[in-house]
Amino acid sequence: MNKKHWRVEIYFMKKIIFIIGLLFIYGFSFAGLSVDPAIVNITTDANSSYEGKYVVKNTYDKPITVVIKLENWNTYSGNTNTDVNRWLHFEKDKYPIPSGESIEVPYKINILDDMKGSVSGRVYFSVEQEEGQMVTIAISVPIYVIVRGTEKIDFKIDSLNFIGTKNGINYQVIVKNDGNVHFRPSGIIEIYDKKKKKLIRTVYISETVPVYAEKSRDFSGPLVSNDIKKDGLKKGKYVAVLKIRAFDKEIIKEIKFKVSKLGEVVTS
Amino acid sequence: MHAGKLKFAGMHMFKTGEYLQVKKIQRLAYFLFVCLFVMLFTNNLFANNLTDKHVYGLFSENFNGATQNAGTVDDNIVYNVWKGDLYPLPVVNTVSGSDAKEGNNYYSCSVSSASVGWSGFCFTFVTGTGNTVTTRDISAFSTLEFYIRPKTGDVSDIKVGVTDSTDRTVKLSSLGINNSSHTWQKCTINLSSLPSVNLTNIKNPFLFNTTFATATFDLDSIVLKRSSIGEFNVTIKNISDNLATSSVTWNASSFRKNWVAAEQYLELSLDILETDNWNVRIYTDNGAVSKDGLVDTASGTKVLQMCWRVSKNLLPNASGDTLVIAYSGSPNYALYDGGKSATDPWYYPWFYITDSAKGDATDYSLLWDSRGYHISVSGDFGGMNNPIYPKVYLGANCANAIGGLTYNANIKVILSYE
């Protein structure tokens, strides 16, 4: 290797470093959007107003414009006009945000005299698309308003089914909300022997997603696996007791079912 | 420049300064090569999540954070159990089950009473391949959050918190745990409220300990959170080199072929945990229910149907996951991985895309939620391990593509809360 050769190598090394530098810049141009808070829950009186704000942050390495769009979302139908634009108001529908900065986006809720139960809507914050861009990202957050003094809490278990799968038996619970406000139920399924004397297994249903006014929601998950030694059910008759809770109310449903030698399940 | 000379066997003579310049540039180039390699092929394993993330997963299948026994990685932790004399060790096992609060796994814990003694469980920051115990600064984080599911016995007196030079804990009863409600319950500890804690010098970022308690309970979704909010991001990347780009394209050879995967994928990054009722969905945003795919730009009426698939890993990969999209035909009319079985719905990872104009929120738009990434149309979800950046692959049915036309689609990826 001679001196000229080394100079050539230095030249290429510099080129490589330059290219790698560019790749780093490109590769690290990760960025995104954030909105706070994620959920707004308000309980207020009819004929009142509420003012709030979202904090929207641009973590892109360039300025962006955030476009705000409202969408109707599970408002109780007993309200004569369910249009979210009737009660939820933003000053503007577009907000420019410099790179790396946050802005406050104020909003106002006006609860009118004729509103009852719950009114709710979704607010979409999306990054305005530039020419030639194919992918848009958006964050969608709900606002729930309960009109104080008009709540009706009423729900029931529409069905409880057990379904055989290749891995075991799954439960499927359908909870029906006959009230006018949403709720987030939790529950428990207890499996007893046929005389209901021995508790064999307990399955918990966590409080997670809401059941909206006048809607049903399906909750499902594994009841038992096929592994008899672990938690599977032998051939025989059983009793299942389902308890669903929300607010201070608990409702109970009981069913009997049989498990065949092959692990198939039949409810009665 | 110094004018000395150096001579090495087999080499010609160079001036010292010139030689050092060569070596310096060479070392820098090699270093950058290594960094680039790690960045591209280990996908952010190089990152220090403790510094970077707003939500730091200590035991999480959706949020990046610590990794157990991760060798020299900055976010290395190990878990320990301990006991005093005459006291049984707590039993802490990782259990897989779809009744996990998050992803597929949770900790099943059991502590039992004795006449004297104490016991506990913790995560400990360690460093190096020898897992030397170290301390880290977690003062940027404001809360320690986790889920507990009491099962048997009484968990009220169990203490949870962190360790600096000593344990800084609060009782579960002070966090509002309902001992008789056997459901997942959220616990939030305001870190600065822990008595005398030094958050700049934390050895154990999570622990529980107990004296005289007998109980079984489950733990899941253990995270540290900052008070400031994080971000949600989608990046388009080339399949060929995993570098960011600005649009999704199909190779010209796709013309008149059935289902073909695009040349790019979307990489998702989630660093926000405002509530557990979140999900990420994907739609076309072409303005009409019937425009659920690539639409010709001339008339706006000719549509090439699209599909999507989300994976925790890059595709194709050594596990046999391919980017070949096959059509099952009757009776399922599903799209499956051409490298897998046509009859097992587990291998139906491709979902027909829907347009946002349809306004639905069906499983066919659901990419990711607290259960993990959406594996298949049979309703399976999968938790993930660090680094957690789910990848969304797109496909299109190009069988009816017409020569000379340009097709385009707007893709919308939405993070939603309920």
Determine whether A220 is exposed, middle or buried from the number of CB atoms within 10 Å of its CB (0-12, 13-18, 19+). Answer: middle
Query: Is 60 exceeded by the pLDDT of residue A11?
Result: no
Chain B contact for A55, CB < 8 A?
yes
Query: Is 70 exceeded by the pLDDT of residue B3?
Result: no
The domain made up of B49-225 has a fold known as Jelly Rolls (2.60.120)
Q: If you classify domain A33-147 with CATH, what class do you get?
A: mainly beta
Q: Calculate how close chain B gets to A129, using CA atoms only, in Å.
A: 9
Determine whether B325 is exposed, middle or buried from the number of CB atoms within 10 Å of its CB (0-12, 13-18, 19+). Answer: buried
CATH homologous superfamily for the domain A155-267: Immunoglobulins (2.60.40.10)
> Phi/psi zone of residue A113: left (φ > 0), alpha (ψ -120 to 50 degrees), beta?
alpha
Which residue type does A42 have? I
Chain B contact for A188, CB < 8 A?
yes
Asked if the interface predicted TM-score (ipTM) of this complex is over 0.90, the answer is no
Q: How far apart are CA A202 and CA B81, in angstroms?
A: 27
| Surface of A (221-240) touching B: CB under 8 A | 221-222
Q: How confident is the model at residue B346 (pLDDT cuts 50, 70, 90)?
A: low
Which residue type does A192 have? Y
Determine whether A117 is exposed, middle or buried from the number of CB atoms within 10 Å of its CB (0-12, 13-18, 19+). Answer: buried
The pair of structure tokens assigned to A137 is 């990202």
Q: In chain A, which segments carry CATH 2.60.40.10?
A: 33-147, 155-267
Q: How far apart are CA B52 and CA B333, in angstroms?
A: 44
pTM for this one?
A: 0.77
Nearest residue to B186 via CA among A184, A212, A250, A37:
A184
Determine whether B75 is exposed, middle or buried from the number of CB atoms within 10 Å of its CB (0-12, 13-18, 19+). Answer: buried
H/E run at residue B49: helix B49-52
Chain A contact for B95, CB < 8 A?
no
Q: Compare CB distances from A209 to B21, B40, B277 and report the shortest one's residue.
A: B277
Q: How far apart are CA A16 and CA A21, in angstroms?
A: 8
Lowest mean pLDDT among A171-180, B68-77, B106-115: B106-115
Average pLDDT over residues B294-314: 95
Query: Is 80 exceeded by the pLDDT of residue A254?
Result: yes
Chain B contact for A22, CB < 8 A?
no
Chain A nearest-CA residue for B249: A134
> Phi/psi zone of residue B130: left (φ > 0), alpha (ψ -120 to 50 degrees), beta?
alpha
Chain B contact for A27, CB < 8 A?
yes
3-class DSSP state of B29: helix
3-class DSSP state of A10: helix
* Contact in structure between B303 and B290 (CB atoms under 8 Å): yes
The pLDDT score that the predictor gives to residue A12 is: 42
Where is pLDDT greater, at B293 or A266? B293
Q: How far apart are CA B189 and CA B225, in angstroms?
A: 10
Q: How far apart are CA B243 and CA B54, in angstroms?
A: 24
Rounded to a whole number, what is the distance in angstroms from the first to the last CA of chain B?
A: 67
